[in-house]
Amino acid sequence: MRYFQMTTVVLLISCALVTSAAFADVTRDQAQDIVLNQALTGEMGSVDIYQSYNPVDATGVKVGIGYAAPFFPQSWAFLVDHTWFADWEHPCRYIFVDVDSGNYEIIAHTQPPRFWDHFEQIELAARPDPIEISPPESDEDRDLRTREPDPHLYAMLINGGRYGPDNREIRFWNHLSVVYCALTQQYGYLPENIFVHSTDGTALHNYGSLDLDGDGVDDIDYASWQSHPDYHDIEDTFDDLANELGSDDQLFVFITNHGDFDSDVQQSFAKLWVPDGNDDPNYLLYAQELADMVEPINCAQITFFLSPCNSGGFIPLLAGDHLKG
């Protein structure tokens, strides 16, 4: 079952659009002044603020799924991130300043712009002073492995990636690398029992490397498509595991990327690989869909490590005794 809808909440100040000083054609600088000195009075220093380089039309700003759309036919767009220290998705606001009148509209949202290069950061929240951390001394000869290789241990690692080559976020690749290395170098997982789906499966969108542990061997196997007629996708790998795993085996499932909560269907979802301009629901993995994929797997234990925002919404559908047989 596929879920399409997202909900956007529109806040109208005093039940109407806010009217600022009248302008014939509001310039970019004038729009910035309206936002900083009227719409966000008293918030400077506590929020990150981004402004569009050019006015947007009534379709608004392309976000992860859908649009943040104003009432105005032409307006300057602003993103106000008051949870700048958190990963996306999280609460934010879009402010649109009408090019003709200088009126502005505030829209509450949870998703960032799809194309960050359309925006300039104009204000930065005060950051805490960095803490210098010295790595502990290590013995290069010390064997970090805590378990011997175990053929009964299997893992499925999924990195959705971030939209396209102009907006990749390398930390998700780093997440994969850290987890992969920990599993193989410390916890006894055999490389042939680890199945890795990351972005579109190519080196181009994996920061030039499919090698997660630096040994010169590619570790990323497939793209992170949920279902694709022409490629080995996530459903295919779970089907393979259902056929291969037995009651003595254990499966570890790791998912990294952004996530959100769909209020229309009351479910959390993780974002998979999303090509530029494509909102196909196959690029979202809802909690129920993941639960349906793992349900046929008959093994001793399945452990889930889910890092996307709103991952807690997966717990009710994944927790409990699902062992078959």
* Interval 56-74: pLDDT, tens: 999 999 987 789 999 999 9
Q: 189 with 183: CB under 8 angstroms? A: yes
- What distance in Å separates the CA atoms of residue 308 and residue 312, rounded to the nearest whole number? 9
Which pLDDT value is given to residue 4?
Answer: 37
Tell me how long the chain is.
Answer: 325
* Interval 110-146: pLDDT, tens: 888 988 889 999 999 998 888 887 777 766 655 566 7
Query: Confidence band (pLDDT; 50, 70, 90) for 309?
Result: confident
32 Cβ contact list (under 8 Å, min separation 6):
51, 76, 122
pLDDT above 70: residue 18: no
- What distance in Å separates the CA atoms of residue 56 and residue 54, rounded to the nearest whole number? 6
Residue 281 — φ and ψ, nearest 5°? -65, -15
Number of neighbouring beta carbons within 10 Å of residue 313: 19
Topology, domain 153-318: Rossmann fold (3.40.50)
pLDDT above 90: residue 284: no
The amino acid sitting at 275 is P
Structure tokens that stand for 300 in this block: 């001793």
- What distance in Å separates the CA atoms of residue 30 and residue 292, rounded to the nearest whole number? 52
Give the least confident one: 117-121, 185-189, 272-276: 272-276
Which of 223, 289, 302, 255 lies closest to 158, judged by CA? Answer: 255
Which pLDDT value is given to residue 325?
Answer: 35
Give percent above pLDDT 70 in the chain.
82
pTM of the model: 0.72
Query: Confidence band (pLDDT; 50, 70, 90) for 170?
Result: confident
Number of neighbouring beta carbons within 10 Å of residue 136: 5
Which of 263, 307, 280 lies closest to 88, judged by CA? Answer: 307
- What distance in Å separates the CA atoms of residue 186 and residue 174, rounded to the nearest whole number? 17
- What distance in Å separates the CA atoms of residue 21 and residue 100, rounded to the nearest whole number? 11
- The domain segmentation of the chain, as residue ranges, is 9-123, 153-318
Q: 109 with 68: CB under 8 angstroms? A: yes
The alpha carbon of residue 81 and the mean position of all alpha carbons in its chain are separated, in whole angstroms, by 16
Average predicted confidence (pLDDT) for the chain: 84
Q: Which residue has the tokens 């193989």?
A: 184
Between residues 273 and 321, which one has the greater pLDDT?
Answer: 273
